[in-house]
């Protein structure tokens, strides 16, 4: 990558590595994470976000089944719009998965009235019940569902 004993700039090293590993196409394709909202619009971006690209398939998380159905109907035009922005036909498909209990909206600034947090005694009691569950992810998910329900009432 350079003459022995000479200092090579990091930019030159990275360019050589990208070329050697043939990452240019993948890096170009991953730019869509930066322009997602511009490409799909604010309303869609509030309910869907790109998660990962694997083997030219974009995996998108969606907030609910209604939006998932709507995006399935728009899949062709979304795929065409994203490929136009990337500059190549790098994406061949889009797959949608549900991401329950989450909104992809950006936080709104200002004073928003919020419900008070759940009763600490109830929270402690619920967390005591969760201790018996060994899987951290399951425990965390159940707590998130319980908290969402507390704020909903």
- pLDDT computed for residue 74 by the predictor: 93
Reported as a single tens digit per residue, the pLDDT across 25-54 is 666 667 788 888 888 888 898 899 999 988
Residues 92 and 139 in one domain: no
| Mean pLDDT in residue range 78-96 | 86
Residues 143 and 90 in one domain: no
**pLDDT at 111 > cutoff 60:** no
In a domain, 1, yes or no: no
Residues 94 and 132 in one domain: no
Of 104, 84, 2, 88, nearest in space to 43 by CA: 104
Residues 16 and 90 in one domain: yes
In a domain, 42, yes or no: yes
Reported as a single tens digit per residue, the pLDDT across 46-82 is 899 999 988 889 999 999 889 999 999 999 999 998 8
Q: How far is CA 53 from CA 59, 60, 68, 137, in A?
A: 6, 9, 18, 24
Number of domains in the chain: 2
**pLDDT at 108 > cutoff 50:** no
- The CATH number covering residue 76 comes to 3.30.300.180
Residues 14 and 50 in one domain: yes
Output b/e per residue, 48-86; b: 16+ Cβ within 10 A.
Answer: bbbeebeeeebebbbbeeebbeebeeeeeebbeebbeeb
CB 49 within 8 A of CB 63: no
Q: Which domain holds residue 130?
A: 120-152
Residues 42 and 92 in one domain: yes
In a domain, 64, yes or no: yes
Residues 36 and 76 in one domain: yes
- pLDDT computed for residue 94 by the predictor: 94
- pLDDT computed for residue 73 by the predictor: 94
Residues 126 and 68 in one domain: no
Residues 94 and 124 in one domain: no
């Amino acid at each position: 990558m350079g003459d022995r004993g000479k200092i090579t700039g990091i930019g030159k090293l990275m360019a050589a590595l990208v070329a050697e590993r043939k990452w240019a196409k993948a890096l170009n394709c991953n730019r869509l994470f930066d322009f997602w909202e511009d490409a799909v619009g604010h309303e869609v971006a509030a309910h869907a976000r790109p998660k990962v690209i694997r083997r030219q398939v974009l995996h998108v998380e969606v907030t609910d089944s209604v939006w998932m159905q709507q995006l399935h109907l728009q899949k062709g035009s979304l795929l065409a719009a994203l490929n136009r922005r990337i500059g190549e036909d790098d994406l061949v498909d889009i797959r949608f998965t549900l991401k329950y209990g989450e909104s992809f909206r950006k936080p709104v600034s200002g004073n928003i009235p919020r419900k008070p947090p759940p009763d600490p005694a109830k929270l402690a009691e619920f967390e005591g019940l969760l201790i018996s569950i060994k899987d951290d992810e399951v425990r965390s998910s159940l707590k998130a569902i319980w908290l969402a329900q507390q704020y909903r009432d």
